Structure 1
Amino acid sequence: MYTGLLHLHSFLRYIVLILVLLSIFQAVTAGNKPYTATNKKINLFALISAHTQLLIGLVLYFISPMVDFSQMKNPIYRYWNVEHITMMILAIVLITIGYSKSKKAIEAKAKHRAIYIYYTIAIVLVLVAILSMPAGRPKWNM
């Protein structure tokens, strides 16, 4: 079960990344264009895929051999125990806030701006988390 979930979690990150980047790209290039049903769907799919990724990640967190709080002095264990989960939850919270603000906004420009700002901050946070991963373990294999 662990290996299957790990592979699913590893695969799904690319879907999340593509959808979030696509949402950001649409928001940046929108200008004064209307907020279309396609914009809404892609933003929603990015949100859903990020939340699915979170749920799978939380299951992995509780069954992973890499989560061991007695090893907090070890940077690899500390990363998986605290840093990874904290930064990823914050990124997903930002995506959720961005989608919610976009949904509540009345003007199309405000909708695009909310997606652009919050999704961009979220993706930067994810990239910082990836780049801060300690050496000694492949980044693609938990």
Structure 2
Amino acid sequence: MYSTLFFIHSWWAYLVLLILVIAAVNSLIGFFTKKEYGANDFRISLFTLIVSHIQLLIGIVLYIVGILQNAKYFSAFSNLGMGEIMKDSTLRLYLVEHPLMMILAVVFVTIGYSRHKKKLTSHPKFKSLAIFYTLGLVFLLSRIPWSAWF
């Protein structure tokens, strides 16, 4: 089960990254060019929200299953303890930094989407999306395990 979830989580991450880049760029272009907020902009922002939440759920389940099945990195919890995990940069990335930063990235996407819905005109909608989706993208990019991606 762990390997299947890991496979899904790994490949779904490419979709999340792609759509978040598209959404952030779209919102920045909309904000700086002062274009009207339209149906396609809404679809892009909503799809970003949905895709990122699905990835978060897959990641949480993967984390729990990894702990329960004592998978590759997760055995460090029982074997080494948290102090040793924090000293090892690889373990710290996979077990602490990556999950925390991805949760924060999804929180920023959610805040941006929620705030933009409350705005009545296009410019403030794009501003909310641009700020929070770009923050989410920065957080996401900061803690992707790049060595595992290539």
TM-score, length-normalised on structure 1?
0.88
- Aligned-partner residue type, residue 13 of structure 1: A
Distance 1:21 1:84 in 2: 19
Q: Deviations over 1:69-127 (max 9, x none)?
A: 22513322222221111110000000000001111111100101111111111111111
More displaced, 11-20 or 69-78?
69-78
- Aligned-partner residue type, residue 56 of structure 2: L
Distance 1:82 1:25 in 2: 29
In the other structure, the counterpart of 1:97 is 111
Secondary structure in 1 aligned to 2:139? helix
Q: 5+ residue gaps in structure 2?
A: none
- Aligned-partner residue type, residue 114 of structure 2: S
Distance 1:126 1:93 in 2: 11
Number of residue pairs matched? 136
- Greater per-residue helix proportion: 2
Q: Residue 87 of structure 1 is aligned with which of 90, 98, 101?
A: 101
Q: 5+ residue gaps in structure 1?
A: none
Distance 1:106 1:89 in 2: 28
- Aligned-partner residue type, residue 140 of structure 1: W
Q: Taking every aligned residue pair, what percent have the same amino acid on both sides? A: 38
RMSD: 1.7
- Aligned-partner residue type, residue 55 of structure 1: L
In the other structure, the counterpart of 1:43 is 45
Q: Which has the larger radius of gyration?
A: 2
Secondary structure in 2 aligned to 1:35? coil
Query: Does structure 1 retain, via aligned residues, the 8 Å contact 2:116–2:129?
Result: yes
Distance 1:29 1:77 in 2: 38
In the other structure, the counterpart of 2:138 is 124
